[in-house]
């Protein structure tokens, strides 16, 4: 039998099944918390830090990732305070400066309110969200790819850079990768990157819509975005 606990997210009392994470509960109830490395059904590692929320205990709030935070009875969560918005904006800015050549990252940046990128662009091909690595290990138990190196040199690689025999050719890693969809205007050349901001017009619509859900962003479908789920529920 499922046990339920009551949690308070952004002022709304929500009955949530015990053992689920705050992020899952929030998305299910249409509270949009931006996230990148979380994939439903896979384990959460809290690598992207975009889904940060304030967890209020005894009047003090702690910033933590909602994907790794399990619901508890009487929990108070704030996902949209000024502090969280500012921190999330800075993280999204770091991400988009690192990898502007992805519609997913550009969309996240716009959603987190990034108007201007204050760092030089870098145009890397991977943001190390670990979606592919976890999908390969947890769904297929194949472990055909993994993280190699540390710090700046961390990258995704086949074991010892050789065998393909573990790979089951399922292509699931490619489907989950946020870097596979280029921005609307096509791929950016190195040295010519910019903040796209194309999704911004859709955000304007978003704010006028009930529940803050967006019906237009196709990307949200593949990413299980809360806005998309909420929009589907409305129709």
Q: From the list 120, 187, 190, 191, which residue makes contact with other proteins (rule: CB under 8 A)?
A: 120
Q: How far is the CB of 63 from other proteins (least distance, A)?
A: 5
By CB under 8 A, residue 217 contacts other proteins: no
Site residues for other proteins, 67-86, by CB under 8 A, read: 86
- Among residues 67, 118, 62, the alpha carbon closest in space to that of 89 is found at 118
SS3 at position 233: helix
Angle at CA of residue 222, ends 26 and 76, nearest 5°: 10
**Secondary structure (DSSP) of 50-77:** TTEEEEEETTEEEEEESSSPBP-TTEEE
Residue 211 touching other proteins (CB under 8 A): no
Kindly determine how many residues on this chain lie close enough to bind other proteins according to the rule CB under 8 A.
29
With binding defined as CB under 8 A, does residue 60 bind other proteins?
no
The token pair at 118 is 């204050």
Pairwise CA distance, residues 128 & 162, whole Å = 21
At 90 the three-state DSSP class reads helix
Residue from 4, 73, 125, 149 in contact with other proteins (CB under 8 A): 149
Closest to other proteins by CB, 63 vs 205, is: 63
> Tokens 């890693």 sit at which residue?
173
Residue 43 or 201 with smaller CB distance to other proteins: 43
Binding site for other proteins (CB under 8 A): 45-50, 52, 63, 65, 86-87, 90-91, 94-95, 97-98, 118-120, 127-128, 130, 149-154
């Amino acid at each position: 039998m499922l046990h339920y606990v009551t949690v308070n997210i952004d002022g709304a009392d929500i009955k949530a099944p015990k053992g689920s994470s705050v992020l899952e509960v929030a998305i299910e109830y249409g509270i949009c918390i931006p996230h990148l490395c979380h994939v439903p059904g896979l384990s959460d590692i809290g690598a992207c830090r975009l889904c940060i929320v304030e967890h209020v205990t005894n009047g003090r709030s702690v910033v933590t990732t909602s994907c790794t935070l399990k619901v508890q009875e009487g929990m108070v969560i704030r996902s949209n305070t000024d502090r969280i918005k500012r921190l999330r904006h800075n993280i999204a800015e770091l991400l988009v400066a690192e990898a502007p050549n992805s519609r997913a990252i550009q969309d996240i940046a716009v959603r987190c309110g990034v108007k201007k990128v204050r760092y030089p662009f870098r145009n890397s091909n991977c943001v190390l969200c670990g979606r592919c690595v976890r999908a390969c290990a947890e769904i297929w138990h194949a472990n055909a790819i993994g993280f190699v190196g540390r710090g700046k040199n961390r990258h995704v690689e086949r074991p010892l850079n050789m065998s393909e025999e573990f790979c089951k050719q399922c292509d699931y890693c490619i489907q989950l990768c946020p870097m596979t969809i280029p921005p609307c205007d096509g791929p950016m050349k190195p040295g010519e990157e910019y903040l796209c901001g194309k999704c911004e017009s859709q955000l304007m619509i978003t704010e006028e819509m009930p529940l803050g859900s967006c019906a237009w962003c196709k990307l949200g479908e593949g990413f299980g975005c809360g806005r998309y789920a909420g929009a589907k529920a409305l129709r």
